[in-house]
């Protein structure tokens, strides 16, 4: 529920190893950055990757990560990656 409410906002914040203080994205910006990162990884490793084709795919991916406890939504309304 918290994640869904957060994703309905125009921008959402994510804290991760690249953005320790958090970075705000729209769904479209997050999708574009994700696809660029995956393309760069694929170029380095030679492995194939799946593009996120649209914003619903981003939402589904974030929900999957939330269900598997890879990310949490903090009380401040920030998506935070959990240590593996």
Q: Tens digits of per-residue pLDDT, 32-72?
A: 999 999 999 999 999 988 899 999 999 999 999 999 999 99
Is the pLDDT score of 17 beyond 90?
no
| Mean pLDDT for the stretch of residues 11-40 | 93
- DSSP label at 82? P
Domain around 48: 2-81
Is the pLDDT score of 84 beyond 80?
no
pTM given for the model: 0.85
Residues 6+ apart with CB under 8 A from 72: 66, 79, 80, 82
Q: Do the beta carbons of residue 33 and residue 39 sit within 8 Å?
A: no
| Mean pLDDT for the stretch of residues 3-28 | 91
Per-residue exposure over 9-41, b if at least 16 CB sit within 10 Å of its own CB, e if not = eeebbbbeeeeeeebebebeebbeebbeebeee
Number of structural domains the chain divides into: 1
């Amino acid at each position: 529920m918290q994640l869904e409410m957060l994703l309905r906002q125009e921008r959402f914040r994510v804290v991760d190893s690249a953005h320790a203080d958090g970075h705000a994205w729209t769904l479209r910006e997050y999708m574009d950055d994700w696809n660029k990162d995956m393309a760069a990884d694929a170029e380095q490793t030679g492995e194939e990757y799946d593009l996120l084709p649209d914003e619903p795919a981003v939402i589904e991916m974030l929900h999957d990560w939330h269900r598997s406890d890879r990310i949490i939504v903090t009380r401040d309304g920030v998506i935070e990656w959990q240590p593996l």
